[in-house]
Amino acid sequence: MIKADRRLESDAELIGAALDDPDSFRVLYDRYAERLHAFFMRRTGSGDVAVDLTAETFARAWASRRRFRDQVEGSAAPWLFAIARRVLIKCVSRRRLETTILERLQVDLRSSDQARVTPDERWLDGLDTDVAAALHALPCDQRQAIELRVVGELPYARIASRLGCTPTAVRIRVSRGLATLRARLEGIQG
């Protein structure tokens, strides 16, 4: 049986299909790998670390694909970048813990076979500030819609009721707002 052209499917459709067809997840990977790698590269300054963190992000996405909930009109970008942010934070936290333990055990860090690049707390510098500033710069209607949909995880109908508009208008506000956020954050990080 010939499968439909997966490149035409939404991210949400690909994730749903990946429950039974791993090749569908590969299409999702192809869509987002470069952007996630660029995100990690900007934060870490290391191509090797960026590759590792990108792989970890997709491994976690694969493992949690059953829990994916389409919140942004079929796009997996917010979900994947939330995972990426947590992977980066965990990487830095893990390094902090490892360093503390090695110091307490009085292990000479210079003599160990550490990776050439070690996680650095500076990788997190400005991460939340950049997102908050980009979100704050959005028009009020888009910012409110994104906060209620992505952060508050409210359904479009409930957001529409709160904002006094239609669910279609909310979808448009969320979509446009996320596109603007993405462009601004890529400009900040680039």
Residue 101's CATH number = 1.10.1740.10
Residues 184 and 136 in one domain: yes
pLDDT at residue 37, as a whole number: 92
Determine the pLDDT at residue 161.
92
133 and 108 fall within a common domain: no
Domain boundary among 88, 119, 150: 119
Query: Residue 81 is inside which H or E element, if any?
Result: helix 77-104
Contacts for 85 with CB less than 8 Å, ≥ 6 apart: 127
| CATH code where residue 177 lies | 1.10.10.10
CB 25 within 8 A of CB 65: yes
The band of 112, judged by pLDDT with boundaries at 50, 70 and 90, is very low
| Residue 101's pLDDT band (cuts 50, 70, 90) | low
Residues 88 and 137 in one domain: no
Q: Is 2 inside a domain boundary?
A: no
Domain membership of residue 145 as a residue range = 126-190
